[in-house]
């Protein structure tokens, strides 16, 4: 399938099931790919009389990271 990622990696750490403090970290990587994806299709904005065929660009984020800290009182 054109544009599909060919590999995905995920990593995570969790700390603190005992006691009031806890932390979690997750990291995912979706293989090498372009930072912009473009599509050709018709769209119509509000107020336009007819749809217009054009290229549309959608930004893609290659990585994401999440850190969660928790304090139980």
pLDDT digit string, tens, across residues 24-54 = 888 877 777 665 667 788 888 888 889 988 8
- Is residue 55 predicted with pLDDT exceeding 70? yes
| Paired tokens of 11 | 């990593």
- Is residue 59 predicted with pLDDT exceeding 70? no
Measured CA to CA, the distance from residue 66 to residue 53 in angstroms comes to 38
CB 22 within 8 A of CB 69: yes
CB 57 within 8 A of CB 34: no
Q: Look at residues 22, 38, 28 and name the one whose alpha carbon lies nearest to residue 7.
A: 28
Domain ranges of the chain: 9-71
Which positions ≥6 away from 1 have C-beta within 8 Å?
Answer: none
Report pLDDT for 9: 83
What's the chain's average pLDDT? 76
15 pLDDT band (50/70/90 cuts)? confident
């Amino acid at each position: 399938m054109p544009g599909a990622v060919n590999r995905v990696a995920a990593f995570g750490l969790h700390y603190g099931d005992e006691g009031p403090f806890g932390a979690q970290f997750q990291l995912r990587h979706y293989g090498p790919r372009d930072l912009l994806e473009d599509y050709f299709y018709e769209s119509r904005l509000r107020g336009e009389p007819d749809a217009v065929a054009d290229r549309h660009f959608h930004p893609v984020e290659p990585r994401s990271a999440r850190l969660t800290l928790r304090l139980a009182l």
